Structure 1
Amino acid sequence: MQQKAFSILKISDWILKLAYLNALFIAFSFLGCLIGGFFPATTAMLTVIRKWLMGDTEIPVFSTFWVSYKKDFLRSNLLGYILTFIGFTIFMYYLLLNQTVSEVAVWLRYPLVIITIIYIAFLLYVFPVFVHYEMKIPQILKTTFLIMSVSPLSTIMLIAAGIILYFTMSNFPGLIPLFGGSLIGFIVMWSSYLAFSQLKQKEEKTVVLD
């Protein structure tokens, strides 16, 4: 009975933590008028989740969030707008191909679909890489591609979890303002953290073999 009550309290504690983190994510996104606040709020949220996953579950959430938000404000926005520009370019190519009636345009759609899938997978990893490693932006981009290449299972798990979460939120839209951002962030960071751990293990085995 006591164990059951403890489990219920623990689940309730995590629900409150995720709801509070989601509220911070929304508030600080709007603090920067979305244009300047969304990306640093995303990296701040992932920073908190990363610490939770590493076992530091009793961190002061607000101060950890705020420190990360301030520290990475410019860098996260720079990275975010680079990715936004790439996504906008892909979207414009889609519009161009849809307006072009030719056999070449039909064939060009296939590589564009592949590029889009790679871009989406890249987006899922790039901000977790940002908060996990102390790197400059060019190194972050290279490391993200590397992790995508060596961790296909984590990528599949991440996409599958994202699909499940999408249908859950679609059926229960009331959950979106409470847990939308933090739940997505938790799944993305958890899957990415598994990939980081796998990469570290492979590097350690290589060092031992050498």
Structure 2
Amino acid sequence: MEFRGVMGGLYRITEWIMRLTVINLLWIVCSIPVFFFGFMGLVSQTTDAFLSILPIVAILSPFTLFPATAAMFTVARKWVTGEEDVPLLKTFFRGYKENYVQSMVGGIIFIIVIAIIVVNYFFYTKQGGSLKMLSVLFIAFSVVIAIAMFNFFSIMVHLHMKVLQIVKNSILITIGSPINSIVTILCNGVIVYICLTKMNFFLVVFFMGSVVATFSFWQFNRSFTKLQMKQQELEEKAQMNQEQNEDDNDKDITESEPSLSESHESDTHTSSNDENNKV
């Protein structure tokens, strides 16, 4: 039975609330160790206690949080590309299984890069003079890596590539589409801020991850579609130029054939005159 009007709109809203909630809960359940230690760090009373928990979270993330996030992006991809009525549990756990190894390896790479950025940032903040200004550069690097992680999951569930290719392309897309990258990080930052500061983590439990994943893949899909259209236009233009060059070459050959014929006739006429002279 299909509802229309106000009832139809309310039905659609409640249906999307259910979808986002189910996927977000699955994401948290599959990442329980990370969320447990992360919550302990947030409620800790001292900064030292929070910093001591961060290495544990970093070690656990590639094995739990990254695969669960890849599974969540798998479902988000289905929604964005028009498959809204996919089975949630089946699609989520299929994405979890299929992308586990790539997401784990990619997670290890990103965690190592983030660790290097953090170490260098604190190192240069303790320096004096112009060296201290380099800490700003590492803040910029951290923003690029944060955006690249969203693109990493989007590319992983959308295209078939090796892990290193996914990581490289995620960074290239981040740098090559600065406007989309800025929109992605700002909007996701607002979503995370609202979820962390409002309603006592209610939004974190039921909506934060799924909303971020859906918006991030939607933004990536827009950028990727534009790049495909530009590439297709360039290929069509190159093909047209090639066909035009081939036509010009054929035309030049056609024009040169009469001159060859005329030259042959001239040679024949000259030879006949020579024979007549001999006679």
- Specify if TM > 0.5: yes
* Alignment equivalent of 1:71, drawn from 98, 104, 112: 98
Q: Provide the residue aligned with 1:186 in structure 2.
A: 214
Q: Provide the residue aligned with 1:94 in structure 2.
A: 121
Q: Provide the residue aligned with 1:164 in structure 2.
A: 190
- For the pair 1:85 / 2:87, whether they are aligned, the reply is no
Matches within 5 A, 1:19-58: 19-30=21-32, 34-35=60-61, 36-58=63-85
Contact 1:40 1:73 in 2 (8 A): yes
Residue identity in the other structure for 2:174: M
Post-superposition Cα deviations, 1:8-48, rounded to whole Å, max 9, x if no partner, equal 10011000000000011111223899542211110010011
- For the pair 1:7 / 2:34, whether they are aligned, the reply is no
How far off is 1:72 after superposition? 1.6
Task: Tell me the distance in 2 between the aligned counterparts of 1:92 and 1:31.
Answer: 24
Task: Tell me the distance in 2 between the aligned counterparts of 1:149 and 1:87.
Answer: 17
Residue identity in the other structure for 2:87: P
Structure 2 stretches lacking a partner, 5+ long: 37-59, 239-279
Contact 1:150 1:199 in 2 (8 A): no
How far off is 1:60 after superposition? 0.9
Post-superposition Cα deviations, 1:145-175, rounded to whole Å, max 9, x if no partner, equal 3322332232122123123313422233321
Post-superposition Cα deviations, 1:45-104, rounded to whole Å, max 9, x if no partner, equal 00111011111111111111111111221221110011011001101111212233x214
Identity across the alignment (%): 26
**Larger mean Cα displacement after TM superposition, 165-174 or 48-57:** 165-174
Structure with more relative contact order (C-alpha pairs < 8 Å, separation 6 or more): 1
Structure 1 stretches lacking a partner, 5+ long: none
**Larger mean Cα displacement after TM superposition, 125-134 or 137-146:** 137-146
Q: Provide the residue aligned with 2:167 in structure 1.
A: 141
CA 1:121–1:2 in structure 2 vs 1: closer, same or farther (change >3 Å)? closer
- For the pair 1:61 / 2:63, whether they are aligned, the reply is no
SS of 2:161 mapped into structure 1: coil
Residue identity in the other structure for 1:120: A
Task: Tell me the distance in 2 between the aligned counterparts of 1:53 and 1:17.
Answer: 13
**Larger mean Cα displacement after TM superposition, 36-45 or 102-111:** 102-111
State the superposition RMSD in angstroms: 2.0
For normalisation by structure 2, the TM-score amounts to 0.70
Task: Tell me the distance in 2 between the aligned counterparts of 1:115 and 1:163.
Answer: 16
How far off is 1:2 after superposition? 3.7
CA 1:14–1:161 in structure 2 vs 1: closer, same or farther (change >3 Å)? same
SS of 2:122 mapped into structure 1: helix
How far off is 1:207 after superposition? 1.0
Contact 2:144 2:175 in 1 (8 A): no
Any runs of at least 4 consecutive aligned residues in structure 1 with deviations exceeding 6 A, and if so which? none
Residue identity in the other structure for 1:115: F
Task: Tell me the distance in 1 between the aligned counterparts of 2:9 and 2:152.
Answer: 34
How far off is 1:140 after superposition? 0.8
* Alignment equivalent of 1:174, drawn from 191, 199, 202: 202
For normalisation by structure 1, the TM-score amounts to 0.91
How far off is 1:187 after superposition? 1.5
SS of 2:86 mapped into structure 1: coil
